[in-house]
Chain A
């Protein structure tokens, strides 16, 4: 900052003075409260950590796509900053028949950005499309429990489930609840992912892959007066450091993540605003329970004890993450702060002895080839090396990593999960036998039954109990080695107002102005 010209310094000082009340509070969930009211117009330049994969909610399985969806598509239900499900395009609902019938009432007078009316027929069209196996939609598994959907009238959808499913409403706040214009889906067919049309505050303009994606204000948005911005430009910047530099140098106005090394200096930087909140996501190792040597539970448990999560947190996250021991992060109501394993080389060596290889063993660790992941893999390698467990690091491209993980063609991998609002979405598919995300091929009837009970129960207290029991078993059976819960830390320039950080990390721009 010392090299700026006097003119710039005074301008910055002026800005700082005007915004003195806002300060920046990196440890709290905070907004930039307006000094004056919202102003319409302006372009928001957004830095995102990778390019979008597809802009069709029905076909997306990449986390980054959701950054675009949250602004192009208005979900049927929305999530509050504390991840509670709230009415949105569904204004109210009834749950009957012991939790197997959901009657959803839709908002009137909503139109897709192409003028197509939003109604029950549109919802049915989307869901039928997603449930059709021929379309290979990743949403199909979300709707697996749906036995039928019907539209008694234009603004009512009745969903009948095969069995009670407590997470169903939460699912409607995600991509399954993001309804595309049937007209556009039919018009573009398989190219729809390049021409999305939703009901959200911003409509799609242009996407040049690996370069930028442009959204513009949807003038017909159902919430009158919203949004304020006239244009959003997303620029993918794959290096976190470069992304941060782009914010600092003013090339972008807001970024979806801050390099951990720079978090502590954020508060002293008067030219930036930021906020941090506990995220839903975590980083973990997946251990393939069907191949040697990690099919031996004692070998897996040895890894659990041998990793110093505090040290990893300090080294890799500069202390901003939280050591993880389950799939339920501090942002989830199912979080249990007392659930943990100690860091102990002695306990690790005991487990190695029990496993029959007291001197240790070796395995291959697959991970993405990004510098941060490579660093984390080396840190794990170094930790495990201390108890005689030899790790061979295999950095690969992300596609290969996911393919190998899904097909179980690996010994161990380093991955992460972005997390969802309902604990069911973070556990059922991961831990139950034949679960769709069960990369470790873990199978335990007890866990299966606990997680099934948890998804069918209605009281949150009861559910939490089931999740706690299941998480305890999973922790010690160690098909996953949970490492860290990752926080959501986002930063923006002082001229961006009305922005809020959410535990899901999605940047909602409906209420933002510049």
Chain B
């Protein structure tokens, strides 16, 4: 899904950096997205300081309490503070989103570089592999893998990360092919620079911006997938406060205490929205047409 937003991504020279920053700041949506992300990052980092209660401390006699001054987002089916659980849940959510994309980038980008730079049979082989991998509905493959490996956050990250790899391979390869044809790479090759040097110095630098855009958008998508796995019970075991499992456990009390599902879902929504608006904004910034 994220790849689609990047259709019109173009490269931009480093010298334009300052102009880009100014343009970014003019894009109000993107700035709001960045602010939302930073807010959640802060929540994640300072969870122990910010959360008013322990995310795990149950208090049966306070279960199903509607939002009040003492529990801003109400309490859940064990009497735990929903706000505190949402705040702590930001950790797992953001970390898994970042790690998934890190996995996708660290495997996908080299693959794309190799395929794009060398071309020929290596390219054919790698791209057929990518085609095959892209044929699998990401969530379904992740579900299957998470089940085979067993439920845990680590396995969910691996499962979704693996599914993300081909996207980065494909986008990198596309950028490499475009950059490769430019004169200065040709020139560098003529001078006798080693392939690795050429790739890293020139191609990677120029291909970086679209990869950053896609990565940003992919963090949002990854967070959604992790939440989906947790919702289906294939995330870390309880009582870990994950947003997806909170939505799931609240779903049995939708009429009695809708806030149990409502707020963690809202948190997922906002974080993903944050990354998507940021990614969307970055694309505009890097897009010289605009």
A379 touches B78 (CB 8 A): yes
Q: Closest residue of chain B to A369, judged by CB?
A: B233
Q: A374-B249, A378-B238, A393-B238 are in contact. Are A311 and B60 (CB under 8 A)?
A: yes
Answer yes or no: B63 CB below 8 A from chain A CBs: yes
Q: Are A377 and B252 in contact (CB under 8 A)?
A: no
Residues of A within 8 A of B239 (CB): 378, 381, 393
- One digit per residue, 1 when the CB lies within 8 angstroms of any chain A CB and 0 when it does not, for chain B 222-255 equals 0000000000010001110000000011011111
Binary contact readout A235-270 vs B (1 if CB under 8 angstroms, 0 otherwise): 000011100000000000000000101100000000
Tell me, in angstroms, the Cα distance from A122 to B58 when the chains sit together. 57
Chain B 59-89 interface 0/1 with A at a Cβ cutoff of 8 Å (1 = within): 0110100000000000001110000000000
Contact A378 to B58, CB < 8 A, known contacts A241-B252, A259-B252: yes
B64's closest neighbor in chain A, by CB? A261
Q: Which of B251, B253, B255 has the most CB of A within 10 A?
A: B255
Residue on B with the closest CB to A316? Answer: B77
Are A393 and B237 in contact (CB-based, < 8 A)? Answer: yes
Asked if B256 and A261 sit within 8 Å, CB to CB, the answer is: yes
User: Taking the complex as formed, is A15 at the interface, i.e. its CB lies under 8 A from any CB of chain B?
Assistant: no
Shortest C-beta distance, B228 to chain A (Å), equals: 15
In this assembly, does A394 line the interface, its C-beta being within 8 Å of a C-beta of chain B? yes
Please determine whether B78 and A378 come into contact, CB atoms closer than 8 angstroms.
yes
Identify which of residues 98-154 in chain B touch chain A, using a CB-to-CB cut-off of 8 Å: 151
Least Cβ distance of A509 to chain B in Å?
28
Residue A445 is within 8 A (CB to CB) of chain B in the complex: no
Residues of B within 8 A of A381 (CB): 239
Q: A314-B60, A315-B78, A379-B58 are in contact. Are A371 and B249 (CB under 8 A)?
A: yes
Given that A393-B237, A393-B238, A393-B239 are known contacts, is A382 also in contact with B252, CB under 8 Å in the complex? no
State the Cβ distance, B140 to closest chain A Cβ, in Å.
18
Chain B neighbourhood of A372, CB < 8 A: 252
Q: How far is the CB of B106 from chain A (nearest CB, A)?
A: 32
Chain B residues near A239 (CB, 8 Å)? 251-252
State whether B238 touches A382 (Cβ < 8 A): no
* Cross-chain contact A240 with B252 (CB below 8 angstroms): yes
Is A315's CB under 8 angstroms from B63's CB? Answer: yes
- Tell me if A395 counts as interface (CB < 8 A to partner B): yes
Contact between chains at B78 and A395 (CB < 8 Å)? no
**Which B residues touch A153, using CB under 8 A?**
none
Contacts of A395 in B (CB 8 A): 151, 233, 237-238
Point out the residues of chain B lying under 8 angstroms from A369, CB to CB: 233
Closest partner residue, chain B, to A312 (CB atom): B60
A375 within 8 A of B: yes
- What residues on A are CB-neighbors of B253 within 8 Å? 241, 261
Question: Please, how many angstroms separate the alpha-carbon atoms of A423 and B237 in the complex?
Answer: 37
Closest approach, in angstroms, between the C-beta of A14 and any C-beta of chain B? 27
- The 6 A-B pairs with the shortest beta carbon distances in the complex, nearest first, are A382-B58, A315-B60, A369-B233, A371-B252, A261-B256, A311-B60
Q: Interface residues, chain A, CB within 8 Å of chain B?
A: 239-241, 259, 261-262, 308, 311-312, 314-315, 369, 371-372, 374-375, 377-379, 381-382, 392-395
Instruction: Please list 26 pairs of residues, one from A and one from B, whose beta carbons are closer than 8 Å in the complex, sorted by A's number.
Output: A241-B251, A241-B253, A259-B252, A261-B256, A311-B60, A314-B60, A315-B63, A315-B77, A369-B233, A371-B248, A371-B249, A375-B77, A375-B78, A377-B238, A378-B58, A378-B239, A379-B60, A379-B78, A382-B57, A382-B58, A382-B60, A392-B237, A393-B239, A394-B237, A395-B233, A395-B237
